[in-house]
Amino acid sequence: MSTETVTQKLYSEEIQIPEGVTVALEGKKLKVKGPKGECEKDFSKMKVDIKVDGNRVIVSSIKKRKDYYAVARAVVKHVKNLIEGVQKGYTYKLKIVYSHFPIQVKVEKGQVRIENFIGERFPRFAKIVGSNTKVTVQGDDVIVEGPCKEAVGQTAGNIENATRIKYKDPRVFLDGVYIYERS
């Protein structure tokens, strides 16, 4: 065996910014604007260097260790999701399922109101996360759309969790609002 030392390099990756998308960096807060809206993400707690240089974003690790490489790769994926979101947008579809008591879902300012869930007298509420996230109800479907993947996913999760049934057998009580499609 040889006693050569292995030299590691700092991890660095460049992300191309497509036409019609603008990226601004304020400190470690990245703001991305595009045709579907705008989204921002704060990377102040991440141990990476982020730079915007012309039509590209450069993300690099600050140390030569694999845990720092993993953080840098995660930040790269977040930036790619932000860019894809403002170009195409994200959509989650949820299905309203009930057996006896018909569930009524209404969208109010900043929240989703779920009424008559398993015959309850008081409504349940789910918070809509993000200013650009839109929730619409079409028949037995609830559609959550927006440019920020995290906000859309969290809103859909909040709606699903608001209809969780506690202290009863989940095999018998199947009522709820469930995610069935992501795109």
- pLDDT, one tens digit per residue, over 122-166 is 999 999 999 999 999 999 999 999 999 999 999 999 999 999 999
User: Options 3.30.160.340, 3.30.10.20, 3.40.50.150, 3.90.930.12; which CATH number does 90-182 get?
Assistant: 3.90.930.12
Q: How far apart, in whole angstroms, are the C-alpha atoms of residue 50 and residue 95?
A: 40
Do 12-87 and 90-182 fold alike per CATH?
yes
- pLDDT at residue 5 tops 90: no
pLDDT of residue 7: 58
pLDDT of residue 9: 73
Do you know the residue count of the chain?
Answer: 183
The full set of domain ranges for the chain reads 12-87, 90-182
Q: How far apart, in whole angstroms, are the C-alpha atoms of residue 23 and residue 31?
A: 6
Q: What global pTM score does this model have?
A: 0.88
pLDDT of residue 8: 64
- Among 24, 64, 61, smallest CA distance to 46 is for 61
pLDDT of residue 11: 86
Token pair listed for 182 = 């992501």
- Among 57, 56, 59, smallest CA distance to 72 is for 59
Contacts of 170 (CB under 8 A, 6+ apart): none
Which tens digit of pLDDT belongs to each residue from 85-133? Answer: 999 999 999 999 999 999 999 999 999 999 999 999 999 999 999 999 9
The answer to whether 142 and 136 have CB atoms below 8 angstroms apart is yes
- pLDDT at residue 26 tops 90: yes
Q: Rounded mean pLDDT of the chain?
A: 93
Secondary-structure class of domain 12-87 per CATH: alpha beta
